[in-house]
Structure 1
Amino acid sequence: MGRRGMKSFLKGAHKQHGSDDEAADAAPEQPSTSAPKAPASQSAQPPKAADPQPVKAADAHDADDSDDDEEGGSKGPETRGKMLQRHKREMAAHKKTVQKLGSKKKDEAARLTAEMEARHARELAELEQREQQQQQQAAGGAGGEAAASAAAAGEQLAGLELAAEAGAEHKKPSKAQKRREKLAQQEAERAARIASEQAALGPSDKAVEEAQLRALLRPHGLGIREIRADGHCLYRAIEDQLTQHAQQAPTSSSSSTSVPDYQTLRRLAAAHIRSHADDFLPFVYDEDAAGGPAEQLEEYCEELEGSAVWGGQLELGALAQALRRQIKVYATGMPLVSLGDEHAGAGGAVQLCYLRHAFGLGEHYNSVEPLVGGAEEEEGKEEGER
Structure 2
Amino acid sequence: MQPVDAFPPREAPAGQPGDAAPESPAAVPPQAPAAFAYPAVDPGFPALGLDELLAAHANLLSRIKICYGTDRPTFERDVLPLVRRYAAFVHLLPATPANYFNVPGGLLQVGLETAFFALQGTDAHIFSGRATITTRRHLEPRWRLATFIAGLCAEVHRTLGQVIVTDHAGSEWQPYLLGLHPWLSQHAVTRYYLKWIPNAPDSPGLSLFVLPQIVPVETLQHLAQGNTVVVPHMMASLSGMPLYREHNILAELVRRSAALVIDRFLKASADRYGKPQLGSHLERYLVDALRRLVATHPAWLPNSERSRVWYGRDGLFLVWPNAAADVRKLLEADQLPGVPKAPETMLEVLLGAGVFETRADGKPLWTIAPPGAKTPLEAVKLAAAAAVLAGLEPRPEPLADALAAELGAAPEGSAAPTPT
Do these two structures clear the TM 0.5 threshold for a shared fold by scoring above it? no
Bigger radius of gyration, 1 or 2? 1
By percentage of residues, which structure has more helix?
1
Query: TM-score, structure 1 length as denominator?
Result: 0.22
Query: TM-score, structure 2 length as denominator?
Result: 0.21
